[in-house]
Amino acid sequence: MLTLKEKEEFKQSVYDVVRLIPYGRATSYGAIAKAVGLPHLSRMVGKFMSQCDPSDNIPAHRVVNSQGILSAGEVFGIPGQMKNLLESEGVLVINNRIQHWKKVFWDPINEI
DNA sequence: GGTATGACTGTAT
DNA sequence: GATACAGCCATAC
């Protein structure tokens, strides 16, 4: 069980990492969780994204699952929004899946 | 306190 | 590639 303080640190770390994702790149929930030192909390990363502070500017559309699939779906408000944002950054998305995932993938561990 | 659920992941079929 | 299943952990009821 995480203390309130640890939870807050975890959340902030996650937000920090997400904000570090370069334009036109993307990463996975698991990679982020690993980067902040909690490799088994990938589900919590997703939860924080869905509950992220509206005041914080989090590019959550650059975070997908380990296979480059946009599992967020309609959580972004309207279906296709996530796909739109990614494609506007030059990331090709077909059928909710990022193309050339290996090239688009950005590993936080190599950048922090 | 048990059960179901979720923006997950890895392995197996 | 698509499905199924088993771990994983916080939350909601």
| pLDDT, tens only, A84-100 | 999 999 999 999 999 99
Distance A40 CA to C8 C1' (A): 6
Return the sign of the alpha-carbon dihedral for residues A81, A44, A109, A18.
positive
| pLDDT, tens only, A55-89 | 888 999 999 999 999 999 888 888 889 999 999 99
Which nucleotides of strand B lie within 7 A of protein CB? 6-10
Residue A90 and residue A25: Cα distance in Å, rounded?
Answer: 9
Angle between helices A4-20 and A42-50 (to 10 degrees): 80
Residues at the strand C interface (Cβ < 7 Å): A 1-2, 7, 40-41, 43-44, 47
Distance A5 CA to C2 C1' (A): 41
Which nucleotides of strand C lie within 7 A of protein CB? 8-11
